A = this chain, B = another copy of it.
Amino acid sequence: MYTYRFYNDYSEGAHPRLLELLASTNDQQEDGYGNDALSQQATALLQHALAQPAAAVHFVSGGTQANLVVLAALLKPYESVIAAQTAHINVHEAGAIEATGHKIHGVATPDGKLTPAMIQAVVAHHTDEHMVKPRVVFISHATELGTVYSKRELEALAQVCRDNGLYLHLDGARLGPALASAATDVALPDLARLVDVLCIGGTKNGALFGEAIAITTPALQENFRYHMKQHGALLAKGRVLGAQFVGLFRDDLSLALARHANALAARLADGLRQQGVRFLVPVMTNQLFPILPTTLIRTLQEHYGFYVWTPVDATHAAIRLVTSWATPEASVDAFLRAVQP
């Protein structure tokens, strides 16, 4: 068994406060399918956090489910979505978006982020009915590489979307660490104002499971629950999702957990940097991609769980380390000692 697993940020169960909330509300009889008091309370907390009192808020079980329901709802049959080539929907959702009938334009990008020019290029190439019609821009914040957008970058994306009649959808499976990141000035109300739809991840930030979908653009709110139900995303005991988001967004627990994850990532990055280690991309959130000798990697793998991300040269590879709300300082420090020659 491993001393510690840095595989991902969903290796543990839930933050104890969420378990307590589930237990303390367990005996209440509630309406099903998200029409319960807890989901209503969570909705109000999120509307407040987003500074969007009229946002429609829905809770679903997982990130792939959130993405496929949102895109099924936003796109007409002949419309498509623009995303980074490395985007979760383009690589790691087993064709879920195509299974709902839609093409993804996977755009090459070095850091997992899209730029206005990339979007313009796709739009410019799709001119008539022999081709699909791009309609949604899909971005992740943080990205698959742990990078984040600045407010200025997001404003530019929102502008290019408005100019081209595109919707902007933000996948926030790791939104917590992005909001807690020192590398960006974007706050949650900024996001909510700039995008049309927004997912707020619970699974990777201390919940047993659960993602919130916030739809800020009124025209996109209608009949969304039909789409959810059709894809099996309307949980009978929606209270379980509601309770967890109440827990996450009451007293800023969500932010506190993300700060912990980021702090531990920074501690890890600092420690590695002091040993002369370089990184594949700058460390901005709770994912880091240090470049290590492959011989060292093999030794580390005996005691620590992590993925080898990509070879860098003949003798080095980048690995992926992920910290979470649950990562202990001691595990980080032990790992740093293990790296030391």
Contact = CB atoms under 8 A, between A and B. Distances in A.
Contacts of A98: 80, 98, 101-103, 132
Contacts of A131: 91-92, 94
A32 interface: yes
Q: Which of A72, A77, A100, A131 has the most CB of B within 10 A?
A: A77
A308 interface: no
Looking at chain A's contact residues, is the secondary structure mostly helix, strand, loop, or mixed?
loop
A78 B95 contact: yes
Interface string A169-212: 00000000000000000000000000000000001100011000
Q: How large is the interface on A (under 10, 10 to 19, 20 to 34, 35 or more residues)?
A: 35 or more
B13 A27 contact: yes
A11 interface: yes
A332 interface: no
Contacts of A73: 77
A242 B72 CA distance: 29
Interface of A: 2, 4-5, 7-8, 10-14, 16, 19, 22-23, 25-33, 60-69, 72-73, 76-78, 80, 91-96, 98-104, 106, 129-133, 203-204, 208-209, 223, 225-237, 239-240, 305, 326
19 contacts: A7-B31, A11-B30, A11-B31, A12-B29, A13-B22, A13-B239, A14-B22, A22-B208, A62-B234, A65-B231, A78-B94, A91-B130, A92-B131, A95-B102, A95-B132, A99-B101, A101-B101, A129-B226, A204-B236
